[in-house]
Structure 1
Amino acid sequence: MDREVEQALPIREVDATPYAASLIEGHRDFGYSLETALADVIDNSISAGSTSVELIANTTADEPSIIIADDGSGMSETELVEAMRLGSKNPSDKRSSEDLGRFGLGLKSASFSQCRSLTVISVKDSRTSCARWDLDRVSRRNDWSLELLDDHSAVPGLELLSGDGTVVVWEKLDRLVGGYGDDRAKRVGHLNEALRLAERHLRLVFHRFLEGKKPKIRISLNGRELKPIDPMASTHHSTQKLPEEVLMLSKGKVRIRCYTLPHHKKMTREEWDETGGPEGHLKSQGLYIYRENRLIISGGWLGLARQTELTKLCRIAVDIPNTMDSDWKIDVKKASAQLPPQVRERLKKVVEHFVGTSKRTYRRRGQQLVDETKQPIWNRLQKDGQVFFRPNIDHPVFEAYATQLPDHLREGFYRCMRIVGSGLPIETLHAELVGNAESVIADHADESDLRQLVTSMLEALAGSGIPPDAMPGVMQSHPVLRDNWYLVKKLIEDYLGQPDLPDTRV
């Protein structure tokens, strides 16, 4: 149709303003959890230049509440009204690198997902402003009238502001306390469990800020300062790091760096559990995507690789600027993203190389534990492309015992050993090792059994012509002896008559 004719056609206009009561209720269901909602509000605090954020959760009151207070730049009344407006930002607008927002929905949608009453108090240049969205009031009136409170003396959290800053108050926590009726104990327990999960999430998502990266920020929960959880264990002396790669794109730089976490035996239990998280290291492997130092994606390969036991210590940090939000399809919650084609192509190559190297390292290490151990208890064998394990009946302990048996019992002993090998519970071991390998350990060796093992091996080594000064090194290649080296070393010293042998373990 000709454009001039089209413009000449009569146009009718009608008012299609959304119903306030319906739309504002819809903003409660963007998929926020308590932890993602709190993180979104803290994003605003960081964007406002805060150095300290206090979370105060009153879980035992008849009407529980959560307060988030910061010492940022604060807002005037005009700025506060704009901040309380739904959709106060255009996601395509240019923003500073410190701005962690995007849609202008985070504060409202995150808060509404947890409560029916959102009050914000802000101080700027010694002037205090206060505004409130009460969803029950909006529902009754069905309009977009924001409440401005001139008398805000009774609003909780005001005392947390000693200068410029902002306090966000969540009341009527229906989503957090709903479903428990008058069962106060269960309600409090549910709230505290939700806060426990939220605490870990905040320690992880904002770990770079808590560590002192620009800007440095302090976050506390009910007076307890939160410590960072670095998913890369980047400061651990046993963490392996590859050089950083930089991908230059039209909208900015994408920085990629690969990390291999230490083996669980080289970390404390607390370090291991923190880096693995509630779901363990198998689920925590993969990509960690940061947007302006704020963690967006924590784990998973986004279709670039499979999660396997051999790669569970592999992690790749990917840093992107906020100028790429639309390309990465960052969602309102800032909790999910999609790889742009050009980044996916490069990351696929990085992941294939990194994961391949890790798998080869693990397989080689596992094979060496059997193949390079002198006098192993189990032999690793291959046949027709399959791998199986068989007790080493030539082991000095087994051999010494067999020689003491009468001839008619000796074959029965070897038969028992073969049955033990064929009965190895492969499927059960596999099920236990997948995702929980660090919890599978060897049975404790009795001291008398260790003495017999050490004596038999020393006699076998001596009979093979191994010099005494080489015996400790050979013995240390045996996993059972190495794990009990304090006792084994004394037994060797007594046998050789050489006290204070050097410890040459690696």
Structure 2
Amino acid sequence: MNDALDRELSIRTVDATPYAASLVEGHRDFGYSLDTALADIIDNAITAGSKSIKLMADTVAEEPWIALADDGCGMEESELVEAMRLGSKNPLDKRNRHDLGRFGLGLKSASFSQCRKLTVLTKRNEKISCARWDLDRIAHCNDWSLELIDNPQTLPSYDLLGSQGTVVVWEVLDRMNGGYANDRVKRAEYMNGELTRAERHLRLVFHRFLEGTKPRVRLSLNGRELKPIDPMASTHPATQKDPDDFLKLKHGDVRVRCYTLPHHNRMTSDQWDEVGGPEGHLKTQGLYVYREDRLIIAGGWLGLTRQTELTKLCRIAVDIPNTMDSEWKIDVKKASAQLPPLVRERLKTVIERFVGTSKRTYRAKGQRLVDETRFPLWSRLQIDGKIVFRPNMEHPLLTAYTEQLSDALREGFERCIRLVGAGLPIEALHAEIAGNAEEIAADKVNERDLREFIHTLALTLTDNGVPKSELPDVLKSNPFLKARWESAEPILNDLLKAD
């Protein structure tokens, strides 16, 4: 119908080529940050078959620069010119299986987001080619003529070029000075801080490439090799892993695998902090979407469920091929995506089943705190649909003390204990737990109080038929004593020897 209509119209064409100066400035604002920009350049290096990628940065120079050098296949001059062209690849074209590219914009848009001068040196078959986009020159000339440099030996990072490979150089870093263009010290501090944040991002996004004793890729920053950050803690012995689940679709298979992280008591502080990152585990729970092993989405449930303290151990790895980019709406930065309807429905089912594992990990520990067979200091009650915690007035330590009081004093003592229970700071506890649960700790107990606690509890247990030989095992299972067992064990041993 549209073709027939067109035949009836009188149509003329005019040249509406975009103004170079205007369009190229627009390409600076696709939403890249330093970390996503660097990741995009590294995508190209990995696609080119690189085994070693070196990120170098001189932040203290009069004119700071950043360079990223790889040992990939390199390019002929004609290939370099094509790579420097904006929109050099059609996103609808079929790609090689391990191609991490998308629109053919990444090299240019990622670089322009941080600098005004992009230079690429490349070497293949002993021949060096060099090309440069200078945004100030484009602004002046308003054309798309690319500069080809025949004598690049004096350029920054020329010496990073090996027997083959490519070096991407960023100069005139106007987006990276933090507003301190005329203060070299503060500018360097700001740039170093940005590079530190970018380092963590790269260790996370490319962790699958960096893992193992013989990694597929070695990535370094100013000569220091970067180690991977595995958000699944998949090599930790206490991590729970579900079998793979596959969803077969028209343009490829989606693989889903669920992980439950260990409770923080099972990990070192460094391990826990590294996996949780600066935002903490509450914010980093959820879906981790990988495109050809490259991390696209790092955490969050994409509207499928709520982030809660009880599900903060949940991680779900979702692997997709690059043949599904249009369905997932992968953006230019390769930093966001949208779930296709079929995948969304399957993940709903997976998440509903899976989050129970993480909740049980926490609830099991919580239930043990109020197990009646272990003489808890606090009782957990359900009253009118609400969960209430009260001091356990039947605890042996409290009953032993109240029995020594007169009726008047006993009534006053029990009133004080009830008020302590009613004054439990629920809102403050909830805020602390939601923010950083692993930083909450119980108050210290002096040795005299601990000794009285052990003596009273041991006497009650033996009076109820527990053999003295079993007291160490029984008392160690008490949460209060388990957390202080290093101090409690000698006291118990002295008690048993005295008897």
Q: TM-score, normalised by structure 1?
A: 0.95
Q: What CA distance in whole angstroms lies between the structure 1 residues aligned with 2:453 and 2:214? A: 57
Q: What CA distance in whole angstroms lies between the structure 2 residues aligned with 1:413 and 1:4? A: 94
Q: Say which SS state the counterpart of residue 132 (structure 1) adopts.
A: strand
Deviations 1:351-371 (A, max 9, x none): 111113433443343123212
Residue 494 of structure 1 is matched in structure 2 by 494
Deviations 1:431-450 (A, max 9, x none): 11113111111112222221
Tell me the amino acid that sits aligned with residue 467 of structure 2: P
Tell me the amino acid that sits aligned with residue 434 of structure 1: A
Residue 74 of structure 1 is matched in structure 2 by 74
Residue 217 of structure 2 is matched in structure 1 by 217
The answer to whether the 8 Å contact 1:288/1:318 transfers is yes
Name structure 1 gaps, 5 residues minimum: 500-506
Greater displacement, 257-266 / 211-220: 211-220
Q: How does 1:232-271 map to 2 (within 5 A)?
A: 232-271=232-271
Residue 303 of structure 1 is matched in structure 2 by 303
Q: How does 1:17-416 map to 2 (within 5 A)?
A: 17-212=17-212, 216-372=216-372, 374-416=374-416
* Superposed displacement of residue 407, structure 1: 4.1
Deviations 1:351-399 (A, max 9, x none): 1111134334433431232125511111111111111111112222222
Q: Say which SS state the counterpart of residue 177 (structure 1) adopts.
A: coil
The answer to whether the 8 Å contact 1:372/1:477 transfers is no
* Superposed displacement of residue 178, structure 1: 4.6
* Superposed displacement of residue 452, structure 1: 1.2
Q: What CA distance in whole angstroms lies between the structure 2 residues aligned with 1:78 and 1:236? A: 48
Residue 448 of structure 2 is matched in structure 1 by 448
Deviations 1:23-54 (A, max 9, x none): 00000000000000000000000000000000
Runs of 4+ residues over 6 Å off in structure 1: none
Tell me the amino acid that sits aligned with residue 326 of structure 1: S
The answer to whether the 8 Å contact 1:245/1:255 transfers is yes
Residue 438 of structure 2 is matched in structure 1 by 438
Q: What CA distance in whole angstroms lies between the structure 2 residues aligned with 1:320 and 1:461? A: 58
Tell me the amino acid that sits aligned with residue 272 of structure 1: W
* Superposed displacement of residue 4, structure 1: 6.5
Q: Say which SS state the counterpart of residue 56 (structure 1) adopts.
A: strand
Q: What CA distance in whole angstroms lies between the structure 1 residues aligned with 2:304 and 2:372? A: 34
Q: What CA distance in whole angstroms lies between the structure 2 residues aligned with 1:496 and 1:362? A: 34
The answer to whether the 8 Å contact 2:69/2:161 transfers is yes
Deviations 1:453-496 (A, max 9, x none): 11111112122222112212221221121011122122222211
Q: What CA distance in whole angstroms lies between the structure 2 residues aligned with 1:95 and 1:486? A: 60
Q: How does 1:475-486 map to 2 (within 5 A)?
A: 475-486=475-486
The answer to whether the 8 Å contact 2:178/2:190 transfers is no
Greater displacement, 397-406 / 251-260: 397-406
* Superposed displacement of residue 142, structure 1: 0.3
The answer to whether the 8 Å contact 2:39/2:202 transfers is yes
Q: Say which SS state the counterpart of residue 435 (structure 1) adopts.
A: helix
* Superposed displacement of residue 274, structure 1: 0.9
Q: What CA distance in whole angstroms lies between the structure 2 residues aligned with 1:247 and 1:49? A: 29
Q: Say which SS state the counterpart of residue 353 (structure 1) adopts.
A: helix
Residue 421 of structure 1 is matched in structure 2 by 421
Cα distance change, pair 361–261 in 1 and its aligned pair in 2 (3 A) = closer
| Corresponding position: 1:16 with 2:13 | no
Residue 471 of structure 1 is matched in structure 2 by 471
* Superposed displacement of residue 89, structure 1: 0.1
Greater displacement, 354-363 / 447-456: 354-363
* Superposed displacement of residue 151, structure 1: 1.2
Tell me the amino acid that sits aligned with residue 145 of structure 1: S
Cα distance change, pair 126–399 in 1 and its aligned pair in 2 (3 A) = same
Greater displacement, 383-392 / 131-140: 383-392
Tell me the amino acid that sits aligned with residue 227 of structure 1: K
The answer to whether the 8 Å contact 1:309/1:435 transfers is no
Q: Say which SS state the counterpart of residue 137 (structure 1) adopts.
A: helix
Q: Say which SS state the counterpart of residue 310 (structure 1) adopts.
A: helix
The answer to whether the 8 Å contact 1:373/1:478 transfers is no
Cα distance change, pair 21–304 in 1 and its aligned pair in 2 (3 A) = same
Q: What CA distance in whole angstroms lies between the structure 1 residues aligned with 2:270 and 2:6? A: 70
Cα distance change, pair 355–69 in 1 and its aligned pair in 2 (3 A) = same
The answer to whether the 8 Å contact 1:123/1:164 transfers is yes
Tell me the amino acid that sits aligned with residue 100 of structure 2: L
Q: What CA distance in whole angstroms lies between the structure 1 residues aligned with 2:358 and 2:486? A: 32
Residue 502 of structure 1 is matched in structure 2 by none
The answer to whether the 8 Å contact 1:373/1:477 transfers is no
Q: Say which SS state the counterpart of residue 237 (structure 2) adopts.
A: coil
Deviations 1:88-130 (A, max 9, x none): 0000111111110010000000000000000000000100000
Deviations 1:52-104 (A, max 9, x none): 00011111111111110000000111000000000000001111111100100
Tell me the amino acid that sits aligned with residue 263 of structure 2: H
* Superposed displacement of residue 173, structure 1: 0.4
Cα distance change, pair 452–320 in 1 and its aligned pair in 2 (3 A) = same
* Superposed displacement of residue 6, structure 1: 4.1
Q: What CA distance in whole angstroms lies between the structure 2 residues aligned with 1:304 and 1:349? A: 10
Q: What CA distance in whole angstroms lies between the structure 2 residues aligned with 1:439 and 1:488? A: 23
Q: Say which SS state the counterpart of residue 497 (structure 1) adopts.
A: helix
The answer to whether the 8 Å contact 1:40/1:107 transfers is yes
Cα distance change, pair 6–420 in 1 and its aligned pair in 2 (3 A) = closer
Deviations 1:283-337 (A, max 9, x none): 0000000000000000001111100001000000000000000110000000000
Deviations 1:154-213 (A, max 9, x none): 111111122100000000000010512423332111111110110000000000000149
Q: Say which SS state the counterpart of residue 436 (structure 1) adopts.
A: helix
Cα distance change, pair 2–163 in 1 and its aligned pair in 2 (3 A) = closer
* Superposed displacement of residue 403, structure 1: 3.2
Cα distance change, pair 198–2 in 1 and its aligned pair in 2 (3 A) = closer
Tell me the amino acid that sits aligned with residue 153 of structure 1: Q
CA RMSD of aligned residues (A): 1.8
Q: What CA distance in whole angstroms lies between the structure 2 residues aligned with 1:418 and 1:386? A: 18
* Superposed displacement of residue 11, structure 1: 2.8
